[in-house]
A and B are shown apart, each in its own frame.
Chain A
């Protein structure tokens, strides 16, 4: 993928045998694919193909926003869906670009690796006949240094050196330096391959899930698929592979700026049981996840869960704690409490689907003058609810949101608003008596933490790959391959053992500093000048 360096022409190719057109086509396509021009085009395509992922919501990033996009653009969304617009980075066209690019990369770096190994083992080539034709050269001067001393001087400067004696009595010193540039370049490209493979394996063997964990021992969570709000397992992971641990949120602290309500800090305290061991108490927060064996627990959000007690017309009561989702930075939160199994006549013991209860509304941690909260902490909390009676539509079996009532049931009239247009306000401890004598009590709230639980087995490997790649990149960009030759001729017989030294230098990459380096080498070589 980089410079094809000039090297001695390979021995003349054997005369072509019977041309095989298919073979020729394959060979030419392969050459085309591994050419620099193709690689550049593929790089450019990769950059262009990545753009849609920043424009359209991505399901892997935020599936909620994809749903919103569907609602906002009902015509365009299905088309985009078919084109992979919501899963750009998993789409076949994106994959085809990077797989082609990496194939091109392999086709380029493997031959280069072999070449490089060969050139590492080769001695620097002999000096050209006319040193003065090289980009850098110095005319012959007398010097008292012997070729062996020259070689030692060059070796000290970390050149690879080869001495050659010739029939005409001259000795050439060939020196070469800067193989690290190509080494670094190869390391960089192989590290990229390693990262790609690591990402692939991480995708296969990793898993993740999200879960809202409400404070309290009765609200604990154990790591099994059924207990997640949503989860994704890699193709090579089964539910049985998940590590065994349980969490209970013992405490959640959030602090805010007194004037603006901007968050200052969070702290979650959990009780952890791993592999049925003893309970440990651990703290974690944003930027400082809870690291368990083969799982990391990240704090990605928080909110309030509302506890309400509904006492039905027959005097039976049920208590529910339901998380309300914050809709703004001041934690105005929306949610619903549903009671499908209430108002059961104790005489018949039969459930009446028209008497199920649902309460939908908002929770404001600090009530101001408007319909939204004015501060994220619970300074003046209140619950604003609308009561619905009828069929909640939960028995149909289609999964719906647990944060709002089934709008379809309300539209068909199966679920009726029985409390009027204005939501009823409840303070903590207050009880609301409904038209049929049943009661709803606002018991209180508990904090909850939104947790992202993930495991990616290859991420440390990827980090190692990335760091190696960076090192290779720096070597590759900072290094310079260059060759220097000295030719020593025996000086005239009357002088005392001195030599006539001529020098030449060839930078093999663009290297403006070579002039200075060459000059200093020549100076060092001539130091013994009589």
Chain B
């Protein structure tokens, strides 16, 4: 069963990769995209240059239509692969859990596997409710492929039982809410980054990352999605990290707060995200500034996920790469 889980994990990454390539395909050939238009324009010139063509036969719109139709199919295929990847991802988790005979949240590898699954599921939910946002699928799947790849390469741990310190029902409450919250916060960084790109594009910036902004959804839509994801995840994170965590810590170590590196970074993330929510609620603070704070929060989450586990030792060290 553990072997099956590992194979499923590899297939999951491949499926996300396929979805990413297809999203990219749609991105490149879509009618809205720069690339798509660039591809259309020379075609017209070529026809014009080759032979005298009557003016009343414009080939370009035809091409645009066929292009966007193809792009539409590519986009649907991308969503299909995305859903397939999500199911495989679930399969990886379930088989891992069966192999270990417990919730698959016992170490860093399993934790990231679960958090990315939550992120992916939330993305699927967003896609279902707002199909117009499909264009950012490229970046969502890119983030998922990178995180899962890093997880498999840096943090892989063979299936093992839980150490006694983790044998508590608070394990399920604390870890599940944190996984849920971090998954949503991690995925929330994607619309945040997309908003910054789109907003920059709208304000006339044409340097590299902003050129991507052309085919992105409306900036207001992206900004609102960013806020809603963060506003949903923040109380969850508060509960998981600052209420359930301390309750368990009190029972386990005797102190509800130990300034352990993991706790310190959870505190930092919490403070930064609180800053984001405040900044966004203040009319005098620009939305771009607020969104940058959300991106900073994402960076602190990544630090907590990878940096703290790999560089610091502390009470949460059983989450380390390599088991104990």
Contact = CB atoms under 8 A, between A and B. Distances in A.
The answer on A and B forming one complex is yes
Interface of A: 1-3, 36-37, 39-40, 43-44, 46-47, 50-51, 53-55, 58, 60-61, 88-89, 208, 257, 260, 262-266, 285-289, 296, 298, 300, 329, 452-454, 456, 459, 462-463, 466-467, 469-470, 473-474, 477, 509-510, 512
B242 A466 contact: yes
Given A286-B165, A287-B167, A473-B238, A50 B264 contact: yes
B146 interface: no
Given A43-B274, A470-B238, A477-B234, A89 B259 contact: yes
Nearest to A300: B253
Given A60-B259, A89-B259, A473-B238, A257 B161 contact: yes
B284 A50 contact: no
A103 to B, nearest CB: 16
A208 B281 contact: no
Interface in B208-244: 224, 227, 231, 234-235, 238-239, 242-243
Contacts of A289: 251, 254
Contact of A2 (B167, B251, B260, B278): B278
Interface stretch (B12-20, B108-116, B132-140, B265-273): B265-273
B229 to A, nearest CB: 12
Nearest to B260: A61
Contacts of A453: 254
Contact of B163 (A58, A61, A262): A262
A374 to B, nearest CB: 16
B264 A298 contact: no
B100 interface: no
Contact of A40 (B258, B275, B283): B275
A512 B227 CA distance: 12
Given A40-B279, A263-B163, A466-B246, 12 more contacts: A3-B282, A39-B278, A47-B267, A50-B267, A264-B164, A266-B164, A287-B167, A298-B254, A329-B324, A452-B253, A454-B255, A456-B256
B293 to A, nearest CB: 8
A298 to B, nearest CB: 4
Nearest to A455: B254
Nearest to B258: A61
Contacts of B250: 459
B161 A287 contact: no
Contacts of A61: 258-260, 314
B312 interface: yes
Nearest to A6: B283
B277 interface: yes
Given A50-B264, A266-B164, A452-B254, A463 B243 contact: yes
B235 A3 contact: no
Given A54-B308, A266-B164, A296 B254 contact: yes
The 3 lowest CB-CB distance pairs between A and B, nearest first, are A298-B254, A54-B261, A54-B264
Contacts of A477: 231, 234-235, 277
Nearest to B238: A470
Nearest to B281: A2
B63 interface: no
B252 interface: yes
Interface of B: 160-161, 163-165, 167-168, 170, 224, 227, 231, 234-235, 238-239, 242-243, 246-248, 250-256, 258-261, 264-265, 267-268, 271-272, 274-275, 277-279, 281-285, 300, 308, 312, 314, 324
8 contacts: A2-B278, A37-B285, A50-B264, A54-B265, A61-B259, A287-B251, A298-B253, A473-B234
Contacts of B234: 473, 477
A287 B264 contact: no
A58 B258 CA distance: 10
B269 to A, nearest CB: 8
Given A61-B258, A287-B167, A454-B255, A47 B272 contact: yes
A257 B282 CA distance: 56
Given A3-B283, A40-B278, A473-B235, A263 B255 contact: no
Nearest to B169: A287
A502 to B, nearest CB: 29
A288 B242 CA distance: 20
Nearest to A288: B251
A470 B252 contact: no
A289 B238 CA distance: 25
A467 B238 CA distance: 10
A388 to B, nearest CB: 33
Contacts of B279: 40
A86 to B, nearest CB: 12
B163 A300 contact: no
Contacts of A329: 324
B275 A44 contact: yes
Contact of A298 (B252, B278, B281): B252
Contacts of B255: 208, 454, 456
Contacts of A88: 259
A452 B267 CA distance: 25
A260 B234 CA distance: 39
Contact of B312 (A1, A36, A37, A55): A55
A221 B151 CA distance: 47
A333 to B, nearest CB: 18
Nearest to B242: A466
A36 B224 CA distance: 22
B140 to A, nearest CB: 22
B89 to A, nearest CB: 28
A262 B106 CA distance: 14
Nearest to A41: B275
A482 to B, nearest CB: 16
A1 B253 contact: no
Given A55-B312, A466-B243, A470-B235, A285 B253 contact: no
B259 to A, nearest CB: 5
Contacts of A467: 243
A265 B167 contact: yes
Contacts of B312: 54-55
A377 to B, nearest CB: 14
Contact of B282 (A36, A47, A53, A462): A36
A278 to B, nearest CB: 26
A43 B275 contact: yes
Nearest to A1: B278
B258 A287 contact: no
A474 B253 CA distance: 29
Nearest to A451: B254
B131 to A, nearest CB: 17
A224 B162 CA distance: 36
A43 B271 contact: yes
